[in-house]
Structure 1
Amino acid sequence: MASIFRTSLFATSIFALAAPGYASAQGAANGKGASQASDELGARSDIVVTAQRRQERVIDVPISITVANQAQLERQQINSVNDLNRIAPSLEIQSAPGQNTGGGGSIRGIGTQTFSPGATASVGVVVDQVSQGNANISDLFDVARIEVLKGPQGTLFGLTTSAGVINITTNAPDPSKMEARLRTELSDAGTAGSKFGQQVVQGMLNVPVSSDAAVRISGVGNFRQGTNRNLVTGKLDDINRYGVRGRFLWEPSSDFTINLIADYFRGTTEGRSDFFTFTKTTDDRVARLASCGITVGEGNQDYCTAQDLHSRSENYGGSLQLEYDAGPFTLTSITGYRQGHDRYNGNNIFRVDPLDLQILAGPDDARIKLFTQEFRVSSPGGQTLEYTVGAFLSHQRSVQDQGYFNITVTPVPGVEIPIVRSLGAINYVTDESMAVFGQFTLHATDALRLIAGGRYSSNKLTLDNYDKAVGTTRQERLLSDKISYRFGLQYDLARNTMAYATAVRGFKGGQISIPALPAQPFILQPEIPLSYEVGFKSTLFGGWVMDLNAFYQKVRNFQAQQCVSDPDTQGLSCSSTNIDGVVTKGAEINFFGNVSKGLTLNTGFIYADASYPKNYVGTDGSNIGGSQLAYAPKYKFTLSGEYEAPLSSRLDAFLGADAVWKSRLRYEANSNVDATFRPHWIAGGRIGVRTADDRFSVGIFARNLFNVHEPSLYLTGDGEQQAIYGPQSFRQVGLQLDAKF
């Protein structure tokens, strides 16, 4: 009840901000801003993307792309980066705490999952043309479009893109009209079968300043109760996040544009939600867990500890984008800055007080600062030789103050035996990069285009590791200079049908791996993918886009993490390593857009055979060479659709559905069946009504309708299994409301 009251107060404050725009919004009955209206996926307009750092029709771009516009994102309740794996069959987001470096997950089975603060991502996240590095945003709101670009994208997007890019574009201010919006998604734990509660409130206000300038302010409040419950207090964990973004757009002349963007996010957590719970264990532990009310089994949400567990996080930044059309070319400058701060008060790893074995991690404090600067010169589109050339630099500095790490055994009450005592360490990581790049497209004939591009990158990675136990600092440094490239051709088979073939070499800088316990940091070599792709794109039924592709990619020095349960301490022991010769190959087909009037359907299927090299030995000593990589389903199907039909001249009804199917998923680099999750469907949908002018709507939604407990992570060993479950692992049913003014 308190959470609903708090949500109502938050919604009221946003509405108070938005309401003044209502009186001035006459003529804006459709409630759609210019950026949204121009970006609709449908038969009446082409789908425009910026996958090559310029605006182009998606069917003209020789890259496999999955596109989701604002309507689809809201329909599927994509409220965070972790939700994005539901929009593209090739994309998997690892949502385990601290595991998903850079936030981008994996594409076609290739990604970077590691706890090491000295790592960078394989899938880059770019927001409004600014790379997020490791200072990534979490919440998504007022987003116009998301493009998932598959395969190495280093030529134009640079570092942390050796597997692909998640390219996010938020809604731009509109100088032509004032408008406002308020939307909510409300669910409560235990109501209508919901296994956790969540209240999401989003608001937007667009204010014209003059005929050539406008301000757009948008905000979000995301309040979640669960998914874990502390049986000592009887309460679900409380996770609250707030965010606000401001954008200022000014076009002082027809050839000069200024974009100023700033955002701020804050999060608090009471409890340690989405962390390990016991799903299978020994008879002795079953009894100890039962003594405080925990029932061991799949989908266990419960833990029991009197320890106060909480965390705080802040993330903020901004960018200044200047664009000048000089006639024969366009000059672009993008300056970005981000800063993040995460604080944890400590953690009982098992979160079960009656256990005889206790693993305690002390307070952890992590800070990160990222500065980026990019300059580009681009030719106009449609000429014989199109080009984009530029320079890029970035400076990322992170400081992680790791608290103590203690493992103790209490065989009888009052007797505590220490096994491991660590005072922790402070790690200072500096990642500097400079690059020059260019890509050229030659229109050899009206139908044939030839593509060539390259990027030279120079990177310096430095780690200063201060060991609190001995009071000494060790330094490691890694220098790397590499050239990445893209070659290809594309041919127009018809007006709205195109085929292409590309060969791409990517590059991701090395890592300095930092062990959890005091030990010498060690260097992982840069990751070098070589990718070949052929594809076919066409527009069907006047607006439904088909994207079909086949790919083969071999990765030299794939950067992987292997985690096992330590038999001596029964804790989690993780190490990073290079794996030479990882291969991903397969094919994918996607359809997105409007099939017909009233029917929108976005669906896709991928076969991605992402495998370990021949004779590779897993963490359990078995030969897993040729078998599927961890975190990489071999088959995956996604679907999101909505059908709308009129009820009257003023009211329409809508019925939506979304589903994801995955083949068996492995979580550890071994042959242990307990470290895999079975093939499964996760399905949901929505039903409701909206006004014919699209200003107001109300509906009922369900996510994970059949309550399938797909974990974020498994930890196995000695006949035990522990799982991390997130919001995707449990059923949610609720109410959604939307109002545009």
Structure 2
Amino acid sequence: MGIQRKIALVSGTALMAFCQPAFAQDATPVPDTTTTQGAEASQDGGVGDIIVTASKREERLQDVPVSVTLVDGAQLTRQNINEVGDITRAAPALNTAGPFGALSIRGVGSLSFSRSSEGSVGVVVDGVALANTSANPPQLFDVARVEVLEGPQGTLFGRNSSAGVLNIVTVAPNPDAFEVIAHADVGSRDTYVGRATINLPIAGNAALRVSGAYNQAPENQYNRYNGSFLHSIGKSGRARFKWDPTADITINLIADYTQFDRQGGAPWTVYHSTPGSLLSQRLAACGVTVGQQNQDGCVDGGEQTTTKTYGFSGQADMQIGGVTLTSISAYRAFKQTSTGSDADSVPINLLNRNQSLGDYRNFSQELRLTSRSGGFVEYVGGLYYFDGQLDTSNDQRGFLFRDVPVPGIGIPLPNVPFGQRVATTSSVTSVAAFGQATFNLTSALRVIAGARYGNEDVRAFTVGTPTPGGAAFAGVGTKRGKVSDTYFSYRLGAQFDLSDGIMLYGTYTKGYKGPSINDQSIGPNIPTIVRPEIPCASEIGIKTTLLNGRLAINLAGFYTKVTDFQAQFFDPGISQFVFGNAPSLKTKGVSLSVFGRPVHGLTLNLNALYNDAKYGDGYYVACAQLQTAANGCVVVPGTKTLADNAGGNRLAGSPKWKLTGSGEYEASLSDSLAAYVQADVVYTSRINFTANYDPLAANAPAAIFGGRIGLRTSDQRYGIAVFGRNLFDVYRASVRFPTSVAAQQKDPQSYSQISGTDSRRVIGLSLDAKF
């Protein structure tokens, strides 16, 4: 389907709504983000007033039978959360599952190099699932709230939410007031944040809200070769138009654009290498001191990557009798250009060129009916269509065997380039019917039943060719695959109100993550089809309010087993490591949330997670560097290949304990001025970044503190504050992994790391204004 047709459909959906004699309400109405909201109860109300859309209908948070971590716009600002990956600092169940940003919830999530594969955590913005563009979501600005829904959510949210969902809701236009809102941060390490919003009433029933953001993340990963730091700069804009043409119709039209530029510095830094190795010598000659907190690199290939994410959506809400009909049409796109990425860690051209182009785009259409609240049955049901297309290419080139013999030849080849170009096209088509109903059997007892029935069609075609004038260092040829799968997922549960402030619930969910093609592995005997991933999850919980509704305490216990989970693993049938289906994994644990305003002037949002997440037996992965039989590097039964049976090992990127806390205390200095103190903390226990026995590829336990102190006017119009991130300057890498091309530099054991925005202390000044 061409882009012109998709845009026409988006516009047509909205235009059709004008002709319907029906009602509409904003499907995700939110309060003004200048008030304390979300997980922190409003000053005038209690925690019972918090509204979420976790079940695709407006419900009180304390009535939803799902474990939800809520982060509102005020907390996003307080913790300097500007990107989706930063939400890991506010939600204990959310983490990164291995290198380069793959998200996980409760430990479930994995990274794959397959282009037709998607993550296990769905990202939804204003009702639109980003799907195959979710690995590069828009920046977070002018956001009312983020709902982190834990556990499989496929019944209502679809194919790529087998671990959970990030449901992001932006601020709706307000036809009752003209507003200009601005926020700026200036900090050490060349840190800059700027955000501005204009809310423009057009008529008594229509308004336009235009917002933009600029974010330059703290500089890190210094390149000693050319004296540059790695800078990551984000620029974004969004326009949202809301119109109520009649009392029965509401239209929301949204367009957004985000661009990230990464330039300079080093792509990663080496924190462990073998003394005396060629790699160690080269790094030392450049002035790099290898160590656990090293943020210096030395590469000569440059670093330049630009990603662009944008989209359009049209939503129409109408009431037909006592039922609300919602239509959401959306087009999303993501483009990436990487013109420089040195992957060899040294100023020698071993693998200097690692260039890639990516073009992802999708169109989705959702139609759903939502009943009114109250009555014997409350339901949501609908139809969903998705069509995604992808075109990518990756070029790698270098002189890998300049200093070491080529395997099978026995001599170095200093002037022979090795490399390849891999180009992939893929498509995903998904159709589904879904529904969920709550039966109010009595005033205290409710039963939940929901299901989703759908079909997935996945196709991929890959061509691998050697680099011009050289030889390929991996398989070349073609790879073609297609798979179609029909599935049925469901959720069953019950709720019981022990009293007005205490609710018990229990649910059982069978989820689904669609099949994919092993499109990056070219060669004989490698399986083409990757089967669907099936999670089955049980959860029991209690939600309660105390202190006359000023404080909420929510507790949940969960158990999830995932079969045929999709991951990079060793297939003993062909004695190769491929992307495919490994046997199983299990997660079980307890989550706790405490939030509200227990006393006047104090807001709290405290969360904790205990998660025992382990791989099932028979999951064979590559042995760690220098790993021996004594610590698990064994011959895979029926083969001659050494591997580590990761069964019983903790999931990669999943800590056993994680605690997050955020709070603010405000005191009035006069009728027009108030002072406030804010603080936040995230504690994470040890994290292993690989599935095998590899104690060096891990993070030690650490607690990262942040805070701010400031003044603001009582009418919230002006504010100034001093803030600090990572106040005690505790270094903690975002991810750690075996160093690329270390073996070609005669180093048998080397590891590298990527530093995040909170890896070092940042002190700065914040300014706020509202007119």
Distance (whole Å) between structure 2 residues aligned to residue 529 and residue 200 of structure 1:
39
For structure 1, which runs of at least 5 residues remain unmatched after alignment?
1-31, 190-196, 564-572
What does the per-residue CA deviation read over 1:95-134, in whole Å, with 9 as the maximum and x for residues that have no partner? Answer: 843x52xxxx111110122233221111100000000112
Give the 3-state SS of the residue equivalent to 1:381 in structure 2: coil
1:332 is displaced (CA, Å) by 0.4
Name the counterpart of 1:504. 509
**1:449 matches 2:479:** no
Cα distance, 1:676–1:306 mapped onto 2, change above 3 Å: closer
Query: How much has 1:351 moved relative to structure 2?
Result: 3.6
Whether 1:734 and 2:740 are equivalent positions in the alignment is no
Q: CA deviation at 1:734?
A: 1.2
Q: Which one of 580, 583, 602 corresponds to residue 583 of structure 2?
A: 580
Work out which of the residue numbers 480, 486, 491 in structure 2 matches 1:475.
Answer: 480
Aligned to 1:318: 312
1:641 equivalent in alignment to 2:641 = no
Tell me if structure 1 keeps the 8 A contact 2:265–2:297.
no
- Equivalent residue for 2:627? none
Are residues 1:267 and 2:289 paired? no
**Is it true that 1:78 corresponds to 2:81 in the alignment?**
yes
Q: Which amino acid aligns with 2:76?
A: L
Task: Give the secondary structure class of the aligned counterpart of 1:346.
Answer: strand
Which secondary structure does the structure 1 equivalent of 2:352 belong to? strand
SS in 2 for 1:396: strand
Asked if the contact 1:279–1:300 (Cα under 8 Å) also holds between the matched residues in 2, the reply is no
Q: Would you say 1:411 and 2:416 are equivalent positions?
A: no
Q: Partners in 2 of 1:286 and 1:472 — Cα distance?
A: 36
Alignment of 1:25-424 (within 5 A): 34=32, 37=35, 39=37, 41-42=40-41, 44-45=45-46, 46-93=49-96, 96-97=99-100, 99-100=101-102, 105-136=103-134, 137-189=137-189, 197-224=190-217, 226-271=219-264, 273-284=266-277, 285-354=279-348, 358-411=350-403, 417=414, 421-424=418-421
Please, which of 678, 684, 694 is the counterpart of residue 662 of structure 1? 684
Q: How does 1:505-584 map to 2 (within 5 A)?
A: 505-515=510-520, 522-541=528-547, 542-561=549-568, 575-584=578-587
Alpha-carbon distance in structure 2 between the residues aligned to 1:722 and 1:255 = 58
2:130 maps to a residue whose letter is Q
Task: Name the CA distance, whole Å, in 2 between partners of 1:168 and 1:273.
Answer: 32
Q: CA deviation at 1:594?
A: 2.1
Kept in 2, the 8 Å contact 1:674–1:716? The answer is no
Alpha-carbon displacement from aligned partner over 1:624-655 (angstroms, at most 9, x marks no partner): 42221111111111111111112222221111
- Alpha carbons of structure 1 residues 141 and 516: separation in structure 2 relative to 1, 3 Å: farther
Deviations 1:530-554 (A, max 9, x none): 1111010012222322221001111
- Report the CA distance between 1:327 and its aligned residue: 2.2
Q: Is the 8 A contact 1:225 1:236 kept in 2?
A: no
Provide the C-alpha distance between the structure 2 equivalents of 1:165 and 1:521, rounded to a whole number of angstroms: 30
Query: What residue is the counterpart of 1:8 in the other structure?
Result: none
Q: How many Å apart are 1:710 and its aligned residue?
A: 2.0
CA distance in 2, matches of 1:446, 1:514: 53
- Cα distance in 1 between the residues matched to 2:694 and 2:354: 31
Within 2, Cα distance between the matches of 1:411 and 1:612? 39
* 2:269–2:297 CA contact under 8 A, matched in 1: no
- Deviation of 1:699 after TM superposition, in Å, equals 1.1
- 3-state SS of the aligned residue for 2:495? strand
After TM superposition, give the deviation of residue 421 of structure 1 in Å. 2.4
Cα–Cα, structure 1 residues 728 and 335, in superposed 2: closer, same or farther, change >3 Å?
Answer: same
d(CA) in 2 for partners of 1:132 and 1:272? 30
Partner of 2:10: none
Q: Is the 8 A contact 1:448 1:491 kept in 2?
A: yes
Q: Alignment identity in percent?
A: 37
Deviation of 1:461 (Å): 0.6
TM-score of the superposed pair, with normalisation by structure 2: 0.85
Instruction: Say if 1:266 and 1:164 are closer, same or farther in 2 by CA, change over 3 A.
Output: same
Is the counterpart of residue 605 in structure 1 residue 601 in structure 2?
A: no
1:428 to 425, 430, 449: 425
Query: What secondary structure is seen at the aligned counterpart in 1 of 2:696?
Result: helix
- Over 3 Å counting, the alpha-carbon distance change for 1:312 and 1:616 in structure 2 is closer
Aligned counterparts of 1:316 and 1:518: Cα–Cα separation in 2: 36
Shift of the 537–211 alpha-carbon distance from structure 1 to 2, 3 Å rule, reads same
Which has the larger displacement, 582-591 or 593-602? 593-602
Cα distance between partner residues in 2 of 1:380 and 1:429: 41
Are the structure 2 counterparts of residues 37 and 345 from structure 1 closer, same or farther at C-alpha, using a change threshold of 3 Å?
A: same
How far apart are the structure 2 equivalents of 1:679 and 1:116? 32
Change (3 A) 1:517 1:654: farther
The reply on whether 1:696 has 2:739 as its aligned counterpart is no
Task: Give the direction of change, closer, same or farther, for the CA distance of 1:623–1:510 in structure 2 (3 Å limit).
Answer: same
Gaps of 5+ in 2: 1-29, 405-411, 467-474, 571-575, 624-632, 634-643, 740-747
- Is the 1:276–1:349 contact (alpha carbons within 8 Å) kept by the matching residues of 2? no
Q: Distance in 2 between matches of 1:173 and 1:75?
A: 23
TM-score of the superposed pair, with normalisation by structure 1: 0.88
The answer on whether the counterparts of 1:425 and 1:466 sit within 8 Å (CA) in structure 2 is yes
CA–CA distance in 1 between the matches of 2:151 and 2:227?
A: 46
Structure 1 stretch displaced more, 487-496 or 276-285: 276-285
Alpha-carbon distance between aligned partners in 1 of 2:662 and 2:224, rounded to the nearest angstrom: 37
Alpha carbons of 1:404 and 1:716: their partners in 2 closer, same or farther (altered >3 Å)? closer
What CA RMSD, in Å, does the superposition of the two structures yield over aligned residues?
2.3
Amino acid in structure 2 at the alignment position of 1:110: V
> For residues 633 and 212 of structure 1, do their structure 2 counterparts lie closer, same or farther at Cα, with a shift above 3 Å needed?
same
Q: How many residues align?
A: 685
CA shift for structure 1 position 616 = 4.1
**1:95 to 1:33, Cα distance in 2 relative to 1, 3 A:** farther
- Offset of residue 562 of structure 1: 5.4
Aligned residue for 1:121, secondary structure, equals coil
Q: CA deviation at 1:269?
A: 2.3
Distance change in 2, residues 1:393/1:418 (3 Å): farther
Distance 1:91 1:249, change over 3 A: same
Alignment partner of 1:289: what SS?
A: helix
Partner letter of residue 524 of structure 1? V
- Conservation of the 8 A alpha-carbon contact between 1:706 and 1:731: yes
Query: How many Å apart are 1:350 and its aligned residue?
Result: 2.7
Could you tell me how far apart the structure 2 residues matched to 1:39 and 1:374 are? 29
Residues in 2 aligned to 1:516 and 1:310: alpha-carbon distance in whole angstroms: 26
- Encode CA deviations 1:508-559: one digit per residue, 9 max, x unaligned: 0012123377776732210000111101001222232222100111101111
Q: Deviations over 1:172-220 (max 9, x none)?
A: 000000011110111132xxxxxxx210100000000000000000000
Per-residue CA distance 1:55-107 (angstroms, 9 max, x = gap): 1100111111111111111111111001001111111135843x52xxxx111
User: Is the Cα contact below 8 Å between 1:698 and 1:735 reproduced in 2?
Assistant: yes
CA separation of 1:274 and 1:353: change in aligned 2, threshold 3 A: closer
Q: Deviations over 1:329-348 (max 9, x none)?
A: 11000001111110011322
Equivalent position SS for 1:85: helix
Separation in 1, partners of 2:539, 2:416: 52
> Judging changes above 3 Å, is the alpha-carbon distance between structure 1 residues 342 and 58 closer, same or farther for their aligned structure 2 residues?
same
* 3-state secondary structure, aligned to 1:140: coil
1:632 aligned onto 2:663:
no
- The farther-off stretch of 687-696 and 513-522 is 513-522
Equivalent position SS for 1:286: helix
Q: Distance in 1 between matches of 2:485 and 2:711?
A: 57
SS of corresponding position for 2:650: coil
